[in-house]
Amino acid sequence: MTVTPAAPVTPPAVDVSAPGILEDRYDQDGFVILRDVLSRAKLDALLAETARICRGELGEIDGAVASAPDETDDEVIRRFLCIHYPHKLSSLMLDTMRHPAIVGPLTRIIGPNVKAMQSMLFVKAEGKPGQAWHQDEMFIPTRDRSLTAAWIALDDATVENGCLWVLPGSHRDGVIYPNREHDDPRYDCTVESYDFPWTDDDAVPVELTAGSVLLFNGYLLHKSLPNTGRHGYRRALANHYMSAESLLPWALPYEGQSMAQADFRDVLLVAGRDPYAYKGVEQLRRPRIRPDRDGGCDR
Ligand SMILES: O=C(O)CCC(=O)C(=O)O
pLDDT tens string, the chain, 299 residues long: the values are 556 656 788 888 888 888 899 999 999 999 999 999 999 999 999 999 999 999 999 999 999 999 999 999 999 999 999 999 999 999 999 999 999 999 999 999 999 999 999 999 999 999 999 999 999 999 999 999 999 999 999 999 999 999 999 999 999 999 999 999 998 999 987 899 999 999 999 999 999 999 999 999 999 999 999 999 888 999 999 999 999 999 999 976 666 788 889 999 999 999 999 999 999 999 999 999 986 665 455 56
Angle between helices 21-29 and 100-110 (to 10 degrees): 70
Ligand 1 atom, smallest distance to 236 CA: 1
- 261 belongs to a structural domain: yes
- 41 belongs to a structural domain: yes
DSSP classification of residue 272: S
- The alpha carbon of residue 99 and the mean position of all alpha carbons in its chain are separated, in whole angstroms, by 15
Do 216 and 240 meet the contact criterion of CB atoms below 8 Å apart? Answer: no
CATH number of the domain at 266, please.
Answer: 2.60.120.620
Which protein residue has the closest C-alpha to ligand 1 atom 2? 224
How many structural domains is the chain composed of? 1
- 231 belongs to a structural domain: yes
Best residue for ligand 1 mutational test, from 120, 124, 167, 290 (most atoms within 8 Å of Cβ): 120
Do 122 and 86 meet the contact criterion of CB atoms below 8 Å apart? Answer: no
- 14 belongs to a structural domain: no
Indicate whether residue 130 lines ligand 1 (CB < 6 A). Answer: yes
- 10 belongs to a structural domain: no
Which protein residue has the closest C-alpha to ligand 1 atom 9? 238
- 4 belongs to a structural domain: no
Indicate whether residue 123 lines ligand 1 (CB < 6 A). Answer: no
- Give residue 258 CA to ligand 1 midpoint distance, Å: 31
- CA–CA separation, 55 vs 80, rounded Å? 11
Long-range own/partner contacts, residues 4-11 (CB < 8 A, 24 or more apart): 8/203, 8/204, 8/205, 9/204, 9/205, 10/204, 10/205, 10/206, 10/207, 10/208, 11/168, 11/204
Best residue for ligand 1 mutational test, from 80, 139, 161, 297 (most atoms within 8 Å of Cβ): 297
Q: What's this model's pTM, rounded to 2 decimal places?
A: 0.95
- 10 Å Cβ neighbour count for 274? 17
- 49 belongs to a structural domain: yes
- Give residue 22 CA to ligand 1 midpoint distance, Å: 22
| Structural domain boundaries, residue 41 | 21-289
- 241 belongs to a structural domain: yes
